[in-house]
Amino acid sequence: MPKTDLASEQSSAAPAVGCGPNAGGAFSQEDYHHPAAAWGAALSVGLVLLKQHELLDGTRVVFNMNHENGGYDCPGCAWPDDRHGLSMDICENGIKHATWELTKKQATPEFFASHTVSELSDWSDFALEDAGRLTEPLRYDAASDKYVPISWGDAFATVGRHLRSLDSPDRAAFYTSGRLCNEATFLYQLWARELGTNNLPDCSNMCHEASGRALQGALGTGKGTCDLVDWQKADCLIVIGVNAASNAPRMLTSLAEAYRRGASIVHVNPLVEAAATRTIVPHDILRMATFQSTRTSTLNVQPRIAGDMALMRGVAKHLFEAAGSDPKAIDREFIERYTAGFEAYRTLVEATPWAEIELQSGLPEAKIREMGEVYRKSRSTIIGWCLGVTQQQHAGDTIREIANVLLLRGNIGREGAGPSPIRGHSNVQGNRTCGVDHRPGEDWLARLDRACGITSPRAHGLDTVRVIPAMMRGEVKVFVGMGGNFALAAPDTDYTFPALRNCDLTVQVSTKLNRSHIVHGKDALILPCLGRTEKDHGNGGLQGITVEDSMSMVHLSFGMKEARSPHLRSEVAIIAGMAAASLPGTKTPWADYAGDYDRIRDKMAEAIDGFEDFNRRVRQPLGFRLKQPARELVFLTDTGKANFSAAPLADVAPAAGRLLLGTMRSHDQWNTTIYSDNDRYRGVKNLRTLVFMNADDMRDRGLAKYDLVDIKSFAKDGSTRNVRGYRALPYNLPRGSAMGYMPELNVLCPIGDYSPQSDQPLMKHVIVAISPSGAES
């Protein structure tokens, strides 16, 4: 594996610089004091359009992003579209994402004829994607160590031959990233289940699996109950573990509007991110022209990594104590009518001492009470959270504690209140809604079988943390990846790479070259697909696809530009081609579905609860919202009520000499796609191999800014993993906490260490020791 990409193989003497367009240049880090978004975002967008040679046409395309009439849905985050048809409902990172797709650069067959896979293995991840758009289907040729062209028909036949030769359909796995549209998602899971497996690992297994399971137990729904109108009505917003300015930049509009109407805004995060300070939203022309920023926070709370559950327990304890003098601190009428388990929870909270809450949260009692008072005085509160919560070991219990706090004051089922998980990729929630689920329920499968005339398997399939060991053991022989970059997104890089290479066949459906094409099976296909910005022509003309945002709105998306290559096919068409080739005698009309997405939507209307009359409803202005029974105070739980959880506080305080490490994205990055080695909002230039540390923790280890360090992680089974030659940077972090970038630090995340509550890898709960390079850890 290349030293330029996997820091675990860097020597301690290697310069800790990045691998982007300015690799090898001078690096620096200074605190960022400017508003989030503002002119920094405007300048960044202009430079991106200029670099991709799309200044004119690209501008036209990006200004049609997130438009209700004929526009396309942003391929970036899942934040909902503006309900009033805002003409500039766009953001810096969405434009980067779309423009990266619009590039005129192409990775043609001539490109692959000039480079062996061994040579490409030494390229940085930035350089691989910067080669441009894939243009034709390719197959790996072992004799030449190159990818060579293959016809679509032969590619589909290759997939079919491998799948038909398996002794069990469970020898295959079907992975999807959150980009896949609803129609393609439905066909993808239908293909897998008609074949006979529920091996459907997906990116949710690594991001919000904990949210779905915890909310299902608490409220009887795997989704949040809020919509964008609620965000506009709430008088208190509590945002936990979210870096909004980079991961959901359009959320800045909601935060600024909330501040201007007098709402309280509490950010809970080990780091005080740019979105927790102030902003100038670029579409606010007057404020941009006058440099008039708006605050986006009224209180910042910095718990230690994994200290969020103790913090929320402290808020609950404050409410119980305040109820002695303020009976309205606890909404007893709501609790008695709509909840179960309250008395057990109250007993638990009252028995939890403040000293333990302080220890586990890393916060003083006074700070926790300050947050509790903000919540007590609010009328309608939304609590939102993201991967800063879900990628912890005890994420399920933490989210249940968030639900407990909401239930204490009746902040469910009314305007401006409720739980609101902040999803990442643009259709990750739709993927799960439309059937990509390795452990589906009987009701879901029975309805699918009736609608589609198949008999789905009932046994649970493999998720992400289980499919990788299954590949390593040779039990999964075919891996199909729909979008994304599984090799880099998954944990334990040094384990995941050989697991993928152990497959008989890997298939990657992609728009651009990435590491997952270089880390391939014995036989391998790259199948190039249309991007979200490109027109999809069907039998009856231009076809639209649908997506579901993080607040359950489903709407249409139409590409704006002709395909970069005449050989590209839609994800729907590629899935249909592979399915037809692997299912001899199938009665599913795969080719008809590929030619007319309305037919897919008609079948989805039969198969999926909430999608009735799909084709008509999705053509309404702004689409339609999927029903949420919990929003109407209908709780589909085992008790028929909203359930309090009474989980004890876990011990998350790191042992002496240890730190808790969390991985995160830089600002100039989207998932595993790295646009540059800069991180504007954290003041970083030309550096990715770094670790942010508390200044006192650095002094304890004799470290100064930019010193080279080695990082060792400790797995539950006693094994260790290392990266060397990183730069230590002092940052405003709590004692015992450290942060660094993914995917580089995924190598430290042990494959066997995952949350027993969600089965998610512990990307933000890695036990590490950090020491000067070359010293014993």
What confidence tens digit (pLDDT) does each residue in 624-660 have?
999 999 999 999 999 999 999 999 999 999 999 999 9
Lowest-pLDDT range of 89-103, 272-286, 733-747: 89-103
In angstroms, how far is CA 484 from the centroid of its own chain? 11
pLDDT at 95: 77
pLDDT at 9: 34
Stated pTM of the model:
0.94
pLDDT at 73: 72
Is pLDDT of 540 > 60?
Answer: yes
Over residues 498-503, mean pLDDT: 98
Fill in the amino acid letter for 204: S
Residues 325-373: tens digit of each pLDDT? 999 999 999 999 999 999 999 999 999 999 999 999 999 999 999 999 9
Distances (CA, A) of 375 to 196, 234, 235, 368, 410: 49, 12, 10, 11, 12
Closest of 411, 86, 101 to residue 238, by C-alpha: 411
Q: How many CA atoms lie within 13 A of 127 on its CB side?
A: 15
pLDDT at 101: 83
Q: Which tokens in the block code for residue 6?
A: 């996997």
Query: Quick count: other Cβ atoms within 10 Å of Cβ 596?
Result: 16
Which residue is listed with tokens 């580089």?
Answer: 744
Q: What's the rounded Cα separation, in Å, for the pair 251 and 265?
A: 13
Average pLDDT of the chain is 91
Rounded to 5 degrees, what angle do the CA atoms 383, 386, 387 make? Answer: 150
Q: Which tokens in the block code for residue 536?
A: 């999809």
Is pLDDT of 5 > 70?
Answer: no
pLDDT at 44: 75
Q: What is the DSSP letter of 73?
A: -
Which residue is listed with tokens 């359930």?
Answer: 643
